[in-house]
Amino acid sequence: MINFQNIKKFEGNYYFKRIFSEITRKHSYSIALFLLGFPVHVVTYFLYLLKKNENLYVPLFAQMKQQFISEGKVHAWAAEYKQQEQTKAAFFNELLNERQLDAVVNQLTEQKLHREIEKILTKDGLAKPSYKSYFSELLENPLFLVLSFIPGVFMYIFLILCSNAFSRFIVERLVQSAFVIVGVATLVFTILYLSPFDPARNLLGIEATPEQVANFNKIYGLDQPYLVQLWHSLSGLFTFDLGNSFEGKENITQSIMNKFPVTLEIALLSLLMAVAIAIPVGIISAVRPNSFADYAFMLIALIGLSIPSFWQGLIFILTFSLKLQWFPATYNPNNWLSIVMPVVVLGTSITASIARMTRSSMLEVIHEDYIITAKAKGLSERKVITKHAIRNAMIPIVTVIGLLFGGMLGGASVTEKVFNISGIGSYIVDKQFIPDIPALLGGVVYIAITISIVNMVIDVLYAFFDPRIRSKMKKS
């Protein structure tokens, strides 16, 4: 039977009120909503101050305060607190003059009076109205929603995004990623700022005059204090205006946009190759432990982990390009065969790592009690492995895949140099010896953004593979 009452809760104006009440339990969400809807909150808070005195709470509070005074309770509390303070001062051999003693006693008595009145009014349902409750009630008013939608559009978008546990989780991860990116950019800039390399001398040459060096530093702002340079660099990142590089005065944003897709393409193809090979190999090794196939696969994986990528790339060029002439020795975007060797070289080590992790994770899972129970119920080995074991073993495997993919994006420079690929890795290597600070910051930040997105996808995949994580996300 359909519960129309529950459906009604998610319709109309109660929708925003419900979400607002849920997420403002966390102080960080309250701050975010206040900042995103600042124009709206300025007006509503002013209205709240005007209407607050119209509530029954204020006259009732004053009436009960007078009642406590007339009954002598306030005088009794003051005498009690005065005796306590005098006893404490005598115990610690402290001297208290009458003015200090009266100030302390009055403060303690006033606090006691407020606590007692609050307790009685809260019990009777007449608690002091808060701005949060006032604003929550306004969200039920259709006229308020219409009038506040344009000035508070970002606040309402944020409320809609936070209406679901998964979307709220993604929003939190995006905010965390923003702080990570700022931290990475600050760290990289600080290291480059403290570096002994002098961009002006490296670009102008050792024969450059002091006037030429000073003029170069003035043009690019290198003569300014550390904090000023850091602010200019960070503000450029958030406005997507990375400026021009020191060398060649090329537009950094355009250069990265041209070079990053090549690195991303090679990394993705290497990852797909690794997953397609490593996971089946790891499952076979785990299902048949200590067999010939297990030993053979793990030996090959160990060799793959031990081979340096630059050496493997050179061997591939000598063998498959120069001798057999199967593939081009250097990368050519117009020839798809030229990407085969870079993909294989970059994917070799991660294939070995994923295979070993898959075997280890599967071995741990297939000896669990629920796997033994599934076999005892008569399920075939194939169904036990595909429907139960693999799904529960995927969390550590997904973690390793994400970490290795991030490492490929940041560490593909060796492979790119060997095969003459104009990607983001080789771009950063070329710029770091100047050092070309804007170009380096741009390249590192783009890689940090990509890795942050990958980590967020991995966290979402955790919830897909493990229902316990989904349950925790919904409860939180």
pLDDT tier at 368, thresholds 50, 70, 90? confident
Whether the pLDDT of residue 159 is over 50: the answer is yes
> Which residue's entry shows tokens 């989780």?
169
Contact 186, 238 (CB under 8 A): no
What's the predicted TM-score (pTM) here? Answer: 0.62
Q: Which amino acid is at 71?
A: E
pLDDT of residue 4: 36
Mean pLDDT of 430-440: 73
Mean pLDDT of 9-18: 60
At 43-100, the pLDDT tens digits run 888 887 776 655 545 566 677 777 777 778 888 888 888 888 888 877 777 777 778 8
pLDDT at residue number 108: 84
C-alpha span between 198 and 208 (Å, rounded): 12
Specify which of 33-42, 234-243, 365-374 reaches the highest per-range mean pLDDT. Answer: 33-42
Structure confidence at residue 5 as a pLDDT band (50, 70, 90): very low
- Ordered DSSP codes for 76-122: HHHHHHHHHHHHHHHHTT----HHHHHHHHHHHHHHHHHHHHHHHHH
Single-letter amino acid code for the residue at 99: R
Residue 11: the pLDDT is 45
Task: Say how many CA atoms lie within 13 Å of 266 toward its Cβ.
Answer: 35
What token pair was written down for 21? Answer: 């009440």
3-state helix, strand, coil in the chain (%, to 5): 80, 0, 20
Among the residues of 198-246, which ranges form H helices? 199-204, 210-219, 226-238
Query: For residue range 374-404, what is the model confidence (pLDDT) as tens digits?
Result: 777 777 777 777 777 777 777 788 888 887 8
Helices (H) and strands (E) in the chain, counts: 25, 0
For 317-389, where are the alpha helices, taking DSSP H only? 340-365, 369-376, 381-384
Pairwise CA distance, residues 153 & 147, whole Å: 11
Q: Evaluate the CA torsion angle 122, 127, 131, 132 in order and state its sign.
A: positive
Rounded Cα gap, residues 164 and 168, in angstroms: 6
Q: What is the pLDDT of residues 186-214, one digit of tens each?
A: 887 888 777 777 677 677 777 777 777 77
Q: For CA atoms 80, 81, 87, 90, give the dihedral sign.
A: negative
Residue 143 predicted with pLDDT over 80: yes
Average pLDDT of the segment spanning 125-153: 76
